[in-house]
Amino acid sequence: MARDNERSESSRNTGDTTCVVTGSLTGPDANSTDFELNVEAPAFERYDVIGEIERGGQGVIYKAIDKRLPREVAIKVLHPGHCGNEVVANGLANEARVMSYLSHPNITPIFESGVSKGGRPYYVMKYIDGTTLAKVLAKGDVPPPLCLKIFADICQAMAYAHSRGVIHLDLKPQNVMVGQFGEVHVMDWGLARFAEKPPPIILSHGWAESVEPGKRINGTLSYMSPEQARGEPLTTATDVFGLGAILCEIILGHAPYVADSCRKLFRRARKASMPETLSGLDESETDRVLVRLAKKCLAVDPRDRPQDAIAVAQEVADYQSSAFERVESDMNRFFELSLDLFCIADTHGYFRRVNENFTRVLGYSKSELLARPFLDFVIEEDKENTLDRMSVLSQGQHVVRFRNRYISAYGSIVTLEWMAKSISGEGLVFAVARDVSQSLA
């Protein structure tokens, strides 16, 4: 599914009120749309429209089939109510130019742009079969590591955009798509602009300012930085606030600003007033490193935030790396301190790793145990049964309380009782054994 960001939609964040602003500094009560909802789909020479995905105040998104290539696509078309509105038409065209300029795995690719048979500008993009991050989070059962991976992908997409001089200006969970296979796409670049002057390649393709004269505010109030709410100059640090807002929702389940009306949200956004959110972050059980990052990104003064998404992405990557190292260290300690015999073997019949208890029980050094097939240590009468259990493991089944006998380095017979599980697709077996020789005596 592809999405259009421009209009209000229900949300659990603000008492079932989400306020999307396209207006003046006086602060709207709500954003309304008076256009007819059931408008005939446009016709295209190359595409057969299947149906409407979503519509907003400025554009309508359709799902379609490409007649020339075997693929589904999403087509964003200018809303019929804006035909002849040069400012809005420029905005749609600029969105296509920005997205085509940003070639990144986490940014939806653009295939082409043009004008429909009915004279409505459009662009064609990849169809994403998935759901929004907002809906993913609303389920409330997403494992924290998956949430962190999604957030890391968002940061990587925005780090690339910032490296190309582009700022998004409407980052929020509703504008992030999570595909069926976990792929992440930052969507809805309709408010995007260049932090400085657009590069020559963009100017040569007809870039036109899409903002009407006078100070205007555009974006979603629940996630909006104070400088954006006040109509002040916007920089990459503005997007950093948006990243902090997404991380806040991942941690707490709601956006930084919570209120029961758009007017109240507007006042909160202008002052960056979020006392409940900041105290909620402090009281949450989330790792302090992520809490500090969220609060730093949500700083009132843009100069107190990381200056761009590149810095945020690096902090997230460093955290992920250190978290992996901590888990690996804990696993190593458990592996060696356990009283049981722990090992990792492969389906080819070799130990890949054994803990010290193998040496203690069997008398062989680790290097000896790893250098030879483990069947070499099993007594002849038990080799066939051991091979049979390995076959069961290779088929993805577990092995429970299997016993076989080993010849120790001292010539004695040691009976081990095993619990084992194979790792699908890895060709590895994780197993734990216990010496039960004395219980059989």
324 has pLDDT over 80 = no
Reduce the DSSP state of residue 297 to 3 states and report it.
helix
28 compared with 427, residue with greater pLDDT: 427
Q: Which run of H or E residues covers position 110?
A: strand 110-115
> Which burial class, exposed, middle or buried, applies to 279 when counting CB atoms under 10 A from its CB (0-12, 13-18, 19+)?
exposed
pLDDT in tens, 364-374: 999 999 999 99
Angle subtended at Cα 424 by Cα 422 and Cα 429, rounded to the nearest 5 degrees: 25
Q: Are the C-beta atoms of 28 and 266 separated by less than 8 Å?
A: yes
pTM, to two decimals: 0.69
Helices (H), 117-261: 133-139, 144-163, 200-203, 226-229, 236-252
38 has pLDDT over 70 = no
* pLDDT at residue 85, rounded to an integer: 82
How much is the average pLDDT of 403-417?
96
Nearest 5°: phi and psi at 411? 90, -5
Q: Which of the residue ranges 56-65, 153-162, 193-202 would you say has the lowest mean pLDDT? A: 193-202
> Where is mean pLDDT largest: 32-46, 104-118, 297-311, 331-345?
297-311
At a CB cut-off of 8 Å and minimum separation 6, what does 99 contact? 107, 108, 109, 110, 123, 125, 189
> Which burial class, exposed, middle or buried, applies to 4 when counting CB atoms under 10 A from its CB (0-12, 13-18, 19+)?
buried
Domains and CATH numbers, the chain: 20-29+41-324 (1.10.510.10), 339-440 (3.30.450.20)
pLDDT in tens, 241-258: 999 999 999 999 999 999
Distances (CA, A) of 245 to 26, 259, 274, 336: 24, 15, 11, 42
At a CB cut-off of 8 Å and minimum separation 6, what does 293 contact? 244, 247, 312, 315, 316, 319
27 has pLDDT over 50 = no
Q: Average pLDDT, whole number, for the chain?
A: 85
> Which burial class, exposed, middle or buried, applies to 318 when counting CB atoms under 10 A from its CB (0-12, 13-18, 19+)?
exposed
Tell me how far apart the alpha carbons of residues 353 and 406 are, in angstroms, rounded to a whole number.
17
Tell me how far apart the alpha carbons of residues 179 and 131 are, in angstroms, rounded to a whole number.
7
Q: What is the dihedral of CA 18, 20, 23, 24, to 10 degrees?
A: 50
pLDDT in tens, 374-398: 999 999 999 999 999 998 888 888 8
DSSP state of 191: T
**What does the DSSP assignment read for 213-229?**
SS--EEEEGGG--HHHH
pLDDT in tens, 256-286: 999 989 999 999 999 999 999 999 999 999 9
182 compared with 332, residue with greater pLDDT: 182
At a CB cut-off of 8 Å and minimum separation 6, what does 1 contact? 53, 54, 63, 74, 127, 128, 129, 130, 131, 177
